[in-house]
Amino acid sequence: MKNVILSLFLIIFISLNAQQSPDTLRVMSFNILHGATTKGDFNLEAIAGFINKYHPDLVAMQEVDFKTNRSKKYNIPLELGYRTQLLPLYAKAMHYDGGEYGEALLSKFSLISTENMALPHLPDSEPRAAQIAIFETSNGNKLQFIATHLDHQRDETDRLMQADALAQRFKNEELPTILAGDLNSQPDSKTMKKLYEVFTKPADKKALMPTYPSSGARICIDHILFNQPEKWTELSYEVVCDEYITDHCVVVTTLVFNPNGD
């Protein structure tokens, strides 16, 4: 009888410990215009100040310069990491102007693993990349974050190839994953429909609001998506347009991740 009772206690203990706690994450997508502003000056303090205002846990940044001449040879991810006290990570897409140009992310969490995924493109097109990071929250939830910037040309060929590469890579992904960035694609485009095969866009109507340009936004091309929608609850979604800091509006969403599902 004593062994039966001990076994029952053990089962209950294991069951309780298997139920991990939810995490609330504030996620931002920010095209930083290589550290410049719409007035043509160079103002990392303004960019960092904007980020700090929203206290994000994760930031996907696009148009990020790394020690280029036009950006005064600054290591922009490192500079913004210092100013926001978030962990910076940079992914080169190409060499440019005496330095490099690509994507970056900022994270409140230390990172378990990272990868720079080169995205396909036509021979004469600008290279693009996806910065992938896996991290573990203080509640013990292991999550994945993808920061990317898809091709900007009017023709959708490159974007479709890039979206397909991402869809193929993450279609069977077991880790809960957020994808954020300037995707240069409107919600009803072929590119987004390809991504929707794997990722879900927040249901909030604000997720369809125009994000470009920051002065009189007309088209929605900056997005935050996630897989395993049954494990995410959307608390808020904002499109914030600052006409000085960058030519894109910034997207900020607050999500609750529940590892146990609904």
Structural contact between residues 151 and 181, judged by C-beta atoms closer than 8 angstroms: no
- pLDDT, tens only, 67-77: 999 999 999 99
**Cα-based distances in Å from 147 to 69, 115, 130, 204, 205:** 24, 11, 6, 21, 23
**Cα-based distances in Å from 99 to 60, 74, 81, 82:** 20, 10, 19, 20
pLDDT of residue 20: 78
Measure the CA–CA gap between 211 and 249, rounded to whole angstroms: 5
Interval 75-97 mean pLDDT: 98
Measure the CA–CA gap between 145 and 58, rounded to whole angstroms: 8
How far separated are the first and last CA of the chain, in Å rounded? 37
Helix then strand count (H, E) for the chain reads: 5, 11
- pLDDT, tens only, 25-59: 999 999 999 999 999 999 999 999 999 999 999 99
**Is the peptide bond between 213 and the residue preceding it cis, with omega within 30 degrees of 0?**
yes
- pLDDT, tens only, 180-201: 999 999 999 999 999 999 999 9
CB neighbours of 222 closer than 8 A, spacing ≥ 6? 29, 31, 181, 182, 183, 211, 212, 239, 248, 249, 250, 251
Q: What are phi and psi of 2, to 5 degrees?
A: -60, -40
Is 15 a residue whose pLDDT tops 50? no
Burial of 68: CB neighbours in 10 Å, binned 0-12, 13-18, 19+: buried
Query: Of all residues in the chain, what percent are helix, strand and coil, respectively (each to 5)?
Result: 25, 35, 35
**Signed CA dihedral, 188, 194, 195, 197: sign only:** positive
Is 17 a residue whose pLDDT tops 50? no
Interval 92-111 mean pLDDT: 98
Which residue segments constitute the domains of the chain, with CATH numbers given?
23-257 (3.60.10.10)
- pLDDT, tens only, 127-179: 999 999 999 999 999 999 999 999 999 999 999 999 999 999 999 999 999 99
Structural contact between residues 127 and 118, judged by C-beta atoms closer than 8 angstroms: yes
pLDDT of residue 147: 98
pTM of the model: 0.92
